[in-house]
Amino acid sequence: MRLRHRSGRFVHLSHGTNVRPARDLPSVVDQLDTYASAIRARLGVDTLGVSLWLPPTLAAALAADGRARTRLRSELDARGLEVRSLSGVPFAEGGGEVIGEDAPDWSDPARLEYTLDLARVLVDLLPDDAVRGAVTTLGLGRRDSWGQAQQQSADRILGRLSAGLAEVAWHTGRAVRVGFRPEPGFLLDSAASCVAALAKTDRDRVGVCLDTADLACTWQDPVATIDELGRAGISVIRVQVAAALETANPVVAADTLRRYVDDHRHPVTTPDGGYADHLSEALRDLPAGAWRIRYHMPLHLDPAPPLAATTSVCHAALMRLVGGALPETEHVDVAIETWGLLPPDQRPAGDSALADGIAAELTHVGRELSGLGLVPSADARA
């Protein structure tokens, strides 16, 4: 959905599609029919923004086949859907972040090729009036396995990223920017680490994607984080709006939290720097102090006590990014990938109920953006 900021500029609201990942083009089209078209109908809008996730094999195939890209764009147009961003964070063909997954990071050329494939696909999916889009990627690599050799390789690969994005722009006349997503446990996990790691990158083509659940789990002040990035000239290319779980007393909340354990990675952090890579690990050790758990919660629903959601971080980040005289991001995306991972009694019962839930979450975020002065617009040239 296209929203006009008071400055006259535009902000694009979309939602992800990888709640049930698709591995090939027919599956992507089926996914659009099952969820995106249904959500657009529930919202009653002419055009709905979606942020696609394409697995590496499909991204490579689409990047090499112009007719397949044209078909996908036609399928989007026929359903009143538009794409301005792609997610390149999950790498496994089935999507998600399964415990033990050995996905390539930015010291591996495979990550570069995947990201550039997504950029080549995106330029042909963008609406006719768009001149640039965004691809999201992970925060370089895992901190616990990052060494000098990985850093040297990443430095070379990041240089090739800028060159590859420049080539895409030269050939197509459209720009794609890549946003690295800071998150706990990764090399990029704070404003300071982003400033240091991205110091030598092309700031016109490379920036960050802020996930507000990840931001909450770093325990940093969202306004101070965005200000620090801005002073360093690092753009917030995209903000992914999500709330993490939190509890002031993990001992009291332990039984409730066990219901959220699954085979995906949900890091746990504490205000004093405590960290566990998985919720199940934290529950075994029960580190003292308040916890925040990187587990995306539907923004319009409050978890039952003794749990809470970090919605205040979402609000503060959005206010700072789009509530001022000028918008400081073009893309606001609603994260939906953990809808299917909720405890059974909270999980939507079937595709129709899932579409209802996502539509309600988009409505909630839309109202918040409206409260910050953004209004729907049918004409956006950005």
Q: What is the mean pLDDT of residues 178-185?
A: 95
Tell me how far apart the alpha carbons of residues 53 and 92 are, in angstroms, rounded to a whole number. 11
Find out whether the peptide bond into 344 is cis, omega within 30 degrees of 0: no
Q: Where are the alpha helices (DSSP H) in the chain?
A: 25-31, 37-43, 56-64, 66-78, 109-125, 148-172, 191-197, 212-217, 222-231, 250-258, 279-285, 311-322, 351-371
Contact indicator for 339, 312 with CB cutoff of 8 Å: no
pTM greater than the 0.85 cutoff: yes
pLDDT band at 380 (very low <50, low <70, confident <90, very high): very low
3-state percent helix, strand, coil for the chain, nearest multiple of 5: 40, 20, 40
What's the mean pLDDT when you consider all of the chain?
Answer: 91
Res 382: pLDDT: 30
- The pLDDT tens digits of the residues spanning 54-111 come to 999 999 999 999 999 999 999 999 999 999 999 999 887 655 554 445 689 999 999 9
Residue pair 273/323 in contact (Cβ under 8 Å)? The answer is: no
- Residue 53 to residue 337: CA distance in whole angstroms: 11
Tens digit of each residue's pLDDT (9 = 90 or more) over 278-335: 999 999 987 778 999 998 888 888 898 999 999 999 999 999 999 999 999 999 999 8
User: How many C-beta atoms surround the C-beta of residue 130 within 10 A?
Assistant: 21
Q: β-strand 81-87 against 48-53: which pairing, if any?
A: parallel
Enter the CATH code of domain 2-244+309-376.
3.20.20.150
Q: What is the pLDDT of residues 114-150, one digit of tens each?
A: 999 999 999 999 999 888 999 999 999 999 889 999 9
